[in-house]
Amino acid sequence: MKFLFRSTAYVRIFRNRFVVQVFPAGLQAETSAAFSHPRLLIGDFEIAEKCLKDMITSLYKPFFLPGKPVLVMHPKEVLEGGLTTIEGRVLQELGLGAGAVKCVIWTGADLDAATLSQALEGSRQ
């Protein structure tokens, strides 16, 4: 029963900008705030967390009993050499602090509804 209202939010992270798409509802929104640093995608954790939390809340507000979403965090910039474990941890904590029940980090190609489920399945292994 607890998964009855669960959905997945795909969060693409750019410098100072989040683009969130909710599956299967198909909702999409974009927001920006000054949370990046020239060397880091997330330079100010508190600002980024508040921005993402507000965005998730506004997207899920119309739903009755929405539950907590699963977030797929997809950093799109500042990836030279890949993500460090610290950057991965920051993204995990950011997603969980924004209200996710689970947070998955994705660094591959852009996802759509079909490939999103494959990414989530891959994270369970």
What per-residue confidence (pLDDT) applies to 98? 93
Longest dimension (CA), the chain: 44
In a domain, 111, yes or no: yes
Task: Tell me the whole-structure pTM to 2 decimals.
Answer: 0.86
Amino acid 120: pLDDT: 75
Query: Within a domain: residue 103?
Result: yes
Beta bridge partners of 28: 21
Tokens of 13: 């992270």
| Count: domains in the chain | 1
Angle between the N-to-C axes of helices 45-60 and 85-97, in degrees from 0 to 180, rounded to the nearest 10: 40
| Closest listed residue to residue 120, CA positions, set 100, 109, 106, 107 | 106
Total Cβ atoms within 10 A of residue 6 = 13
Look up tokens 């929104």; give the residue.
29
pLDDT at 3: 42
Is 51 within the bounds of a domain? yes
Asked if the structure places residue 3 within a domain, the reply is no
| Residues ≥6 apart with Cβ < 8 Å to 97 | 49, 53
Question: How crowded is the C-beta side of 26, counted as CA atoms within 13 Å?
Answer: 0
80-115 confidence digits (pLDDT tens): 888 899 999 999 999 999 999 999 999 888 988 878
Residue 109 lies in a domain: yes
Report H helices in 30-109: 45-60, 85-97
Give me the domain span that covers residue 47. 8-124
Query: What CATH number does the domain containing 90 carry?
Result: 3.30.420
